[in-house]
Amino acid sequence: MSRTVVVTGGAKGIGRAVVARFLAAGDRVTALGRDAEALAHLRGELHSGAPGTLGVVPCDVADEAAVAAAFADIGAVDVLVNNAGVATAAPFAHTTLADWERHLAVNATGAFLCTRAVIASMRGRDRGAIVTVASTAGRVGAAYASAYTASKHAAVGLMRAVAAEVAGSGVRANAVCPTFVDTPMTERSIERIAEATGRSAQEGRDALVASSPLGRLLDPQEVADAVVWLASDAARSINGQTLILDGGGIQT
């Protein structure tokens, strides 16, 4: 049965891969994002020939009014994927208040606002799945990424709290925690880490690859696979969990 799916940060990287997977499954997908040009490109690239339908809505998930308006237009949502995120790197002592607040606004408050926008309707229908794309930085500390790490811990905690409230209702809330993924966001992080440490960008990338038991960066499609599975009936007994995608680096 076709579902109504919303993917925040849906135009690029992991979000784009997630949108493509739900479209391939025949779902009605709405991609939210701040970059109207990227959303238009996404629509032109993925809409034609897909079994599902794709809508795009420019929206800053950290803007309460914008989120409320977007979800009012979309209506009842069956699957929400909180994927919108920002990531910058800096030594803790050089992390500005603006950087700290922006990370929390997008990575944590954005997930809160979007989840709040769908939860009442899901509870009223006793069905729905919320999946937040967090990070392994939401489970352990990450050097040169204090703001990012704190915001992803908050996103994981949010899903656990929501899961506790909806337990047994048919609504589920979970998080996916991937290690570094081969996306433009990761490339930007590598460049900033290189600047902070005096390494070259390639040395920074090599260090990330070496830190993973997989010996490589994740492909966005691998994260999309996990998201789509958690949103499916195959995972209907899973609630309040963090699915770690790192090849075995974090022991739980």
Tell me the catalytic residues. Answer: 148
Strand 128-133's sheet: what is its strand order? 53-58, 28-33, 4-8, 79-82, 128-133, 171-178, 242-245
Cα separation, 111 vs 155, in Å, equals: 7
Cα separation, 119 vs 59, in Å, equals: 19
What is the DSSP-derived secondary structure letter of residue 104? I
User: Residue 215: CB partners within 8 Å, gap ≥ 6?
Assistant: 209
**Could you tell me whether strands 79-82 and 53-58 are parallel, antiparallel, or unpaired per DSSP bridges?**
unpaired
User: Residue 185: CB partners within 8 Å, gap ≥ 6?
Assistant: 13, 85, 86, 87
User: Residue 30: CB partners within 8 Å, gap ≥ 6?
Assistant: 4, 5, 6, 7, 10, 54, 55, 56, 57, 74
Evaluate the CA torsion angle 120, 171, 219, 47 in order and state its sign: negative
Cα separation, 3 vs 23, in Å, equals: 10
| Paired strand residues for 177 | 244
Specify the DSSP element, H or E, that contains 218.
none
